Amino acid sequence: MKVGILSFQGSFLDHSKSIHELGYESLLIKQSKDLTSVDALILPGGESTAMKKINQFSNILTDVDQLIKDGIPTLTTCAGTILLAKEVIDGEVTIPNIDIEVTRNAYGRQTESFEGSVKFFENEDIYCFIRAPKISKILSDTVNVIAQHNDEIVGVAQKNVVSLTFHPELNNDEYYLNWLNDFIKEGQNVRSF
């Protein structure tokens, strides 16, 4: 199995470590030609505005968008979630593939980043929120909530896409890695909601 990780900037190397922990090959995606042989995709956290600016030189997000629409298992974290959101408060819609509204930098600036308890499916653990967006609205009844921090939605799934506002790749706890392994292998709607 080969997992493509968008590597314009952000936490792509941490996601690559997660993939290697599972015994899979990671491919750092920088050009459209890199997308031809991947079995799953990860769009990492980072800075969504910077990612969009870098994309102007390659226009790779058009091809990423098509792969997602074709059904490839896709995980997004933080800025990656902003890129796929159908509506973006304080930002621009990029490649909408999940029916949510997000608010960029909703928890504040870099200094307001924090670690918090997240219920991710049936597991609860501490995860990092780094200049994290908030999922401010669910726009379709086909979107399933899969993760919560207190009463806030911090993770959702729809079809072949799982979008998180936190950074599980920084912990690489056993539960997350087991889930990620299943998601890469099984793809769409893994773990029956």
Catalytic residue among 78, 149, 152, 186: 78
Catalytic residue among 20, 128, 169, 186: 169
Nearest 5°: CA angle at 113, between 109 and 117? Answer: 145
pLDDT band per the 50, 70, 90 thresholds, residue 111: low
Dist. CA 114–CA 67, nearest whole Å = 33
- One-letter amino acid for residue 32 of the chain: S
| Per-residue confidence (pLDDT) for residue 108, from 0 to 100 | 64
| Per-residue confidence (pLDDT) for residue 73, from 0 to 100 | 95
Name the residue among 116, 110, 189, 105 with its Cα closest to residue 151: 116
| Per-residue confidence (pLDDT) for residue 7, from 0 to 100 | 87
pLDDT at residue 3 greater than cutoff 60: yes
| Per-residue confidence (pLDDT) for residue 193, from 0 to 100 | 32
CA dist list (Å): 7 to 49, 69, 103, 121: 14, 20, 23, 28
Domain 2-186 in this protein, CATH class: alpha beta
Mean of per-residue pLDDT scores for the chain: 89
For the chain, give the percent of residues with pLDDT over 70: 92
Per-residue pLDDT, averaged over 95-108, amounts to 88
Instruction: Report the helix count and the strand count for the chain, using DSSP H and E.
Output: 5, 12
> Between residues 131 and 39, which one has the greater pLDDT?
39
Strands (E), 133-188: 134-138, 144-149, 152-158, 161-164
- For the stretch 48-77, pLDDT in tens is 777 667 767 778 899 999 999 999 999 999
pLDDT at residue 182 greater than cutoff 60: yes
pLDDT at residue 104 greater than cutoff 90: no
| Per-residue confidence (pLDDT) for residue 190, from 0 to 100 | 47
pLDDT at residue 177 greater than cutoff 90: yes
| Per-residue confidence (pLDDT) for residue 187, from 0 to 100 | 67
| Per-residue confidence (pLDDT) for residue 191, from 0 to 100 | 45
Of 8-17, 21-30, 81-90, the range with the lowest mean pLDDT is 8-17
Question: Catalytic site residue 128?
Answer: no
- For the stretch 119-162, pLDDT in tens is 999 999 999 988 889 999 999 999 999 999 999 999 999 999 99
